Amino acid sequence: MNDLIKTGCILVTGGAGFIGSAFIRQLLELTDYRVINIDALTYAGNLATVSDVMQSPRHEFVHADIIDGPRMRQLFENNQPLALVHLAAESHVDRSIDGPGVFITSNIVGTYTLLEEARRYVTESVSEAAAQFRFHHVSTDEVFGSLGRDGEFTEESPYLPNSPYSASKAASDHLVRAWGETFRLNTVVSNCSNNYGPYQYP
């Protein structure tokens, strides 16, 4: 493993949320990566979640919205990341029913913006990091619909979203896959089940 792989830069979106902050703490504890933590600090984002790493020389917090293309481009260009771990999302089903528009904007348009800036970075940068770049999109098992009391979802499960939230995440999953197939961007999608823990938004 070369030094770049061991000590390069990782961009993390949604790093002030409860899952993103847990991921960043683990990343800083278990690796030597430099972490750029990007968060818009909406209702579910809170700097208290990363208060214990704010003074780390390997952690930088950036208050920004992922739909801001020029800002995202600047972060790619200035940091030459090895990877982007995309956790930022509007993620509450009830809120998506009351106001689906923000879910469309953040989850679909935001993911599209990141994909385009990642594609630009990989295409235009001559750095070794860009040549090895990976876009990791963190999604939800809710894109597969309702599981019921028994059974399980697999990678072959059909998409059956039942809410504006899960539909917006399903759309973003398809965008990531399409950018991987069409533009040969190195992508991976993980569909996580429900999580709970410290700093979780009520």
165 has catalytic annotation: yes
From 165, 173, 181, 199, the catalytic residue: 165
Number of domains observed in the structure of the chain: 1
- Lowest-confidence pick of 44-53, 76-85, 141-150, 154-163: 141-150
199 has catalytic annotation: no
CATH at residue 179: 3.40.50.720
142 has catalytic annotation: yes
CB atoms within 10 A of CB 6: 11
The structure tokens listed for 139 are 């999604």
User: Does residue 123 fall inside a structural domain?
Assistant: yes
User: Does residue 22 fall inside a structural domain?
Assistant: yes
**In which domain, by residue range, is 185 found?**
3-192
Residue, of 57 and 91, whose pLDDT is higher? 57
Rounded to an integer, the average pLDDT of 96-112 is 91
pLDDT for residue 196 is more than 70: no
88 vs 14: CA distance, rounded Å = 4
Average confidence score pLDDT of the chain: 90
User: Does residue 197 fall inside a structural domain?
Assistant: no
User: Does residue 14 fall inside a structural domain?
Assistant: yes
pLDDT for residue 130 is more than 90: yes
User: Does residue 202 fall inside a structural domain?
Assistant: no
49 vs 79: CA distance, rounded Å = 23
From 60, 141, 159, 199, the catalytic residue: 141
From 142, 152, 173, 199, the catalytic residue: 142
Contact (Cβ atoms closer than 8 angstroms) between residue 1 and residue 74 = no
**In terms of Cα–Cα distance, which of 65, 56, 3, 63 is closest to 26?**
56
92 vs 33: CA distance, rounded Å = 31
